[in-house]
Chain A
Amino acid sequence: MTTSSILRVDNIHVIYDQVILGARGISLELPEGRIHALLGANGAGKTTTLKAISGLIRAERGEVTCGSIHFAGHDVLKSDPAALVSQGLVQVLEGRHCFAELDVDENLRVGAFVRTPSRADLRRGLERIYTYFPRLAERRRSRAGYLSGGEQQMLAIGRALIASPRLVLLDEPSMGLAPQIVIEIFEIVRRLNHEEGVSFLLAEQNAAIALRYSDHAHILENGRIAGSGPSAELAERDDVRASYLGIGAEGRRSFREARHYHSRRREH
């Protein structure tokens, strides 16, 4: 492992319920302090990959059958999820998963417990999250179940950040949110990355926004990586634009097909 990479995933295969393949041969590497994206349609294996990295896959009757995952020198496959969180690897789940019956303040507190903070540390931690998310500060006594989708996404991110992670796995942060709110959330991700050096691995179906805010991206199809590259370059490629950015007359099609189609067109 190069010293600068915080995460290294080596050729992992994941199966659910001993039969269903979720990922087949995924490898990727994330240098510390970067934002990388996993793109792909519904069912491509993005969530599976993130859950394999956070260890949550085992709670879903899934299993990493071969390959290896290393986070900051720790062997992920030998650690339980709580240990990984305390070492600085936190996942923000798809669909946000706030504790609906707990209020905003309580949600954030729970996120901090893994570090067993003193009361003063806890108060400082809460204030830090509220400066990043002033909207949450206004609603600190509201039950999370009553927040809007955007506020819940902020709360889910805040609850992960209060544990002072080095790497956040962010699953579909844009799902179901208005474009303006999506931008607000990605701006905060960028700030956290710049100001606090937090690394992000984010999974998105919304390729346009993910390519705009990430340094590097991997395109997943059927549990495999079908293409990778710097985000700025991917955003310019015809095949990516056709399959994932909805640009071009052919409509959405498989990335492999699109790549084939575009390379043939270029030859002619």
Chain B
Amino acid sequence: MDFFLEVLIGGLLAGIMYSMVAIGFVLIYKASGVFNFAQGSMVLFAALTFVSLVERGFAFWSAFATTLGAMLALAWAIERGVLRPLVNRPPITLFMATLGVSFIIEGLAQLLWGAQVHGLELGIKDEPIDLGGILLSRFDLFAAGIAALLVLALSLLFSRTRIGLSLRSVASDPLAALATGIRVQRIWAVVWAVAGFVGLIAGLLWGARLGVQFSLSLVVLKALPVLIIGGFSSIGGAIVGGLIVGAGEKLAEVYAGPVIGDGLENWFPYVLALLFLLVRPAGLFGQRTIERV
């Protein structure tokens, strides 16, 4: 039983890491209907910039602040330079544009910082700690704590501030928001900036776990099943979806892996996602539009 709990909780904690990437997608999708494929490259760009600055002698916080500045500039440039001129185009055009942007960001990152793999140290030892007989990864606990703080901050932003309420109005009905005098484009710029910030946090945590390398941008592929399960437009959905994927893949790996074979962890989330697509195409939280966070 303890072993089962250990696997389950370990999976849930790992799942929160997926949620963090998924939230970046949800923010932009909710506010502007764009599926931003470049979110993964933004995660990579953030991690790579941070680690390169640290290697050049920057202290943690000054590297963090500089990277944040770079992320905001990047987000602003994408919104202004690519998506705003394409406003009112079909979603597939916007998606292709973000796909293009994604490769440009990766190319840019490589030009700036080179292609070698970097280790990223956040000062959290990834050693097991014992909680009532259950062994958990200290790093996973730390990451889950950061993710919880991030979600709390975002929900306060959405529920307590004018900019948050404006943002929800744009997500709810863009034409009505425009008619009400909301400066919709300013709201989009804010959303992209917030998504850039979320990308930075995800980049640091993922970079610390996997090492900073170009395959980091593939966390997108981990976020995709999370979004399918949770729905594309709900932050709550992204969290629940992440937990389901995290727990599901660990349990599958441990209990079904020995029978079916290694590597189950990598494709099991897609099995889950496909099942959800067949049963509930809009995801757990996607359909009841009135319930959006």
B173 / chain A contacts, CB cutoff of 8 Å: 97-100
Interface membership of A154, Cβ < 8 A: no
Type the 1/0 row for B29-58, where 1 means its CB is closer than 8 Å to any CB of A: 000000000000000000000000000000
Which of B172, B175, B290 is packed against the most chain A CB atoms within 10 Å? B172
B5-13, B118-126, B162-170: which lies at the interface: B162-170
* Contact yes or no, B175 A99, CB < 8 A: no
Binary contact readout B161-203 vs A (1 if CB under 8 angstroms, 0 otherwise): 0100110110111111111111100000000000000000000
| CB of B289 within 8 Å of the partner chain | yes
Contact of B176 with A97 in the complex, beta carbons under 8 Å: yes
B88 at the interface (CB under 8 A from A): yes
Known: A54-B179, A81-B178, A93-B176. A110 touches B169 (CB 8 A): yes
Interface residues of A in 92-109 (CB under 8 A from B): 92-93, 97-102, 106-107, 109
B289, A113: Cβ atoms closer than 8 Å: no
- Determine if B290 and A82 form an interchain contact, defined as CB atoms under 8 angstroms apart: no
Chain A 72-95 interface residues, beta-carbon cutoff 8 Å to B:
81-82, 85-86, 90-93
A residues 194-253 in Cβ contact with B at 8 Å: none
Is B292 located at the chain interface by the 8 A CB criterion?
yes
List the B residue with the shortest CB-CB distance to A83. B181
A19 to chain B, nearest CB (A): 16
In angstroms, Cα B165 to Cα A93, docked, is 20
Contact between chains at A61 and B168 (CB < 8 Å): no
Report chain B residues within 8 Å CB of A110.
Answer: 165-166, 169, 177, 180, 182
Contact of A81 among B165, B166, B179 (CB under 8 A): B179
Partner of A93, one of B162, B168, B175, B292: B175
Indicate if A111 sits at the interface (CB-CB under 8 A). Answer: yes
Chain B 263-293 residues near chain A, CB threshold 8 A = 289-292
Q: How far is the CA of A189 from the CA of B9 in the complex (A)?
A: 59
- Give A contacts to B, CB under 8 Å: 54, 56, 59-61, 81-82, 85-86, 90-93, 97-102, 106-107, 109-111, 113-114, 143, 145-146, 159-160, 163
6 additional contacts (CB under 8 A) given A102-B165, A114-B182: A59-B174, A60-B175, A81-B178, A101-B168, A101-B291, A113-B166
Q: Can you list 11 pairs linking A and B with CB atoms under 8 Å apart? A: A56-B178, A59-B178, A85-B180, A85-B181, A86-B181, A90-B180, A110-B166, A114-B181, A114-B182, A143-B290, A159-B180
